[in-house]
């Protein structure tokens, strides 16, 4: 009778005040609910002072806004990544195919990629570098691509247009490259330079079609 009354109040009185509710399955496979845990198998399923409080709550406004911003960034990147690459290419005078090759190597076009070292976004900007470039949101598609392209433009200027040294500096830091005057003998960096150049040549030859960019090269780098 106690069980039936408990279930009755739960079913018809959603605002019914209930201190505790326990449940267990008996030897016949029947589930029981009670407010008096007389069976040692009973486990607590409700400890709210008001049953209505156990209803699923709507997400806080801040969480909703965060999810909305994330969804907006994602949809924008899917539609506009080619435009962003072209804009960054024009603004910073770097071949768009080279930007694509860097993005392909860095994140494989994953806008929300995060490396084990903390590099973020399409062009894998380190937090400190992003801050220096005034990139407030490294996961924003355009901010990341524009900031990364501007940083690479600086590498090209520092190393007089030498593509391999500039790529090595982008990966390992300009200080290391300047110190040795060549690509540092770091396996990751050596492999990185090779991959970017391979992707770059493939884009030039039209062998990779992850995006449909096919425009006059703004900067030719041999």
Q: Tell me: the pLDDT tens digits for 99-130? A: 999 999 999 999 999 999 999 999 999 999 99
Query: What is the pLDDT at residue 217?
Result: 36
CATH 1.10.530.10 location in the chain: 79-204
In Å, what is the CA distance from 146 to each residue of 10, 77, 99?
A: 58, 13, 10
Query: What is the pLDDT at residue 109?
Result: 93
Residues that are catalytic: 106
DSSP assignments along 132-153, one per residue: HTT-S-TTSHHHHHHHHHHHHH
Q: Into which CATH architecture does domain 79-204 fall?
A: Orthogonal Bundle (1.10)
Q: H or E segment at 24?
A: strand 21-25
Q: Tell me: the pLDDT tens digits for 165-193? A: 999 999 999 999 999 899 999 999 999 99
Q: Model confidence at 2, in pLDDT bands (50, 70, 90)?
A: very low
* Top-confidence residue, 191 or 206: 191
* Top-confidence residue, 7 or 126: 126
Query: What is the pLDDT at residue 28?
Result: 72
Q: Tell me: the pLDDT tens digits for 37-90? A: 778 788 775 433 333 333 334 445 565 556 556 555 554 445 579 899 999 999
**What does the alpha-carbon distance between residue 183 and residue 165 come to, in Å, rounded to a whole number?**
6
pTM above 0.85, yes or no: no
Query: What is the pLDDT at residue 40?
Result: 79
Among the listed residues 118, 85, 124, the one whose alpha carbon sits nearest the alpha carbon of residue 106: 124
* Top-confidence residue, 58 or 146: 146
**What does the alpha-carbon distance between residue 193 and residue 220 come to, in Å, rounded to a whole number?**
17
């Amino acid at each position: 009778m106690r069980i039936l009354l408990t279930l009755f109040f739960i079913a018809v009185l959603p605002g019914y005040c209930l201190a505790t509710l326990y449940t267990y399955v008996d030897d016949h496979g029947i589930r029981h609910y009670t407010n008096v845990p007389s069976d040692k198998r009973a486990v607590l399923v409700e400890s709210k002072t008001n049953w209505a409080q156990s209803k699923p709550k709507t997400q806080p406004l801040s969480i909703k806004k965060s999810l909305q911003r994330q969804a907006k960034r994602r949809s924008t990147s899917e539609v506009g990544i080619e435009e962003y690459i072209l804009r960054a290419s024009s603004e910073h005078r770097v071949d768009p195919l080279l930007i694509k090759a860097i993005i392909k190597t860095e994140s494989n076009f994953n806008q929300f990629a995060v490396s084990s070292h903390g590099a973020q976004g399409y062009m894998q900007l380190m937090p400190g570098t992003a801050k220096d470039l005034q990139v407030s949101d490294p996961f924003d598609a355009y901010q990341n691509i524009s900031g990364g392209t501007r940083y690479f433009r600086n590498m090209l200027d520092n190393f007089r247009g030498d593509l391999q040294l500039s790529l090595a500096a982008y990966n390992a830091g300009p200080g290391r490259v300047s110190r040795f005057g060549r690509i540092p003998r770091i396996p990751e960096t050596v492999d990185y330079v090779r991959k970017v150049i391979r992707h770059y040549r493939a884009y030039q030859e039209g062998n990779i079609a992850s995006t449909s960019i096919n425009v006059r090269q703004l900067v030719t780098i041999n």
